[in-house]
A = this chain, B = another copy of it.
Amino acid sequence: MGTRMEGIKKQLHREKYKLTPQREATLQVLIENEKAHLSAEEVYLLVKDKAPDTGLATVYRTLDLLSELNILDKINFGDGVARYEIRKEGVKHFHHHLICLECGEVNEIQEDLLSDVEEKVASKYNFLVKDHRLIFHGICEKCQKIK
């Protein structure tokens, strides 16, 4: 059984991108922090532990590349910082985020809540849906209890 890392390495090779230590370290960080919604800066700091000479610009370039190859999702919670997370292999790309207005915690919903809604959009507005972003703002369970 191939690991996620192996699969991505093959993809890079297939598409004629060089496998540099910086790219490998970046990938490792993203795989190890699958649910963390890391910013470029955060990825950079973690990459420096593995490959200390890596520059921030390279991390940005790597994140761009991996996003373009659909290995990563670049997401934006509206706070002016781009965040990155690795896509699950093969899985249809549907997950949503719950952002707590009190504590800032970001949680994920993995199930696809929108298939009905997408159908409606397609038929009613003649819009061919390729992807969607759904973010809920509200109060998480923990913060509801504190009040």
- Report yes or no: B132 in contact with A135, Cβ–Cβ below 8 A: yes
Kindly list chain B residues whose C-beta atoms are within 8 Å of the C-beta of A3.
Answer: none
State which of B129, B138, B139 has its C-beta within 8 Å of the C-beta of A136. Answer: B129
* Smallest beta-carbon distance A112→chain B, Å: 10
The answer to whether the Cβ of A4 comes within 8 Å of any Cβ in the partner chain is no
Q: Interface readout for A102-124 with B: 1 if CB under 8 Å, 0 if not?
A: 00000101000110111011000
- Report yes or no: B121 in contact with A130, Cβ–Cβ below 8 A: no
The answer to whether the Cβ of A98 comes within 8 Å of any Cβ in the partner chain is yes
The answer to whether the Cβ of A20 comes within 8 Å of any Cβ in the partner chain is no
Chain A interface residue number, banded: 20 to 34
State which of B76, B109, B116, B137 has its C-beta within 8 Å of the C-beta of A131. Answer: B137
- Report yes or no: A138 in contact with B128, Cβ–Cβ below 8 A: yes
Kindly list chain B residues whose C-beta atoms are within 8 Å of the C-beta of A109.
Answer: 121, 125
- Report yes or no: A134 in contact with B137, Cβ–Cβ below 8 A: no
The answer to whether the Cβ of A92 comes within 8 Å of any Cβ in the partner chain is no
Given contacts A76-B76, A117-B114, contact A130 B126 (CB under 8 A): no
Q: Which residue of B lies closest to A75 (CB)?
A: B78
8 CB contacts below 8 A, A to B, read A78-B133, A113-B121, A116-B116, A117-B117, A127-B139, A127-B140, A128-B138, A129-B136
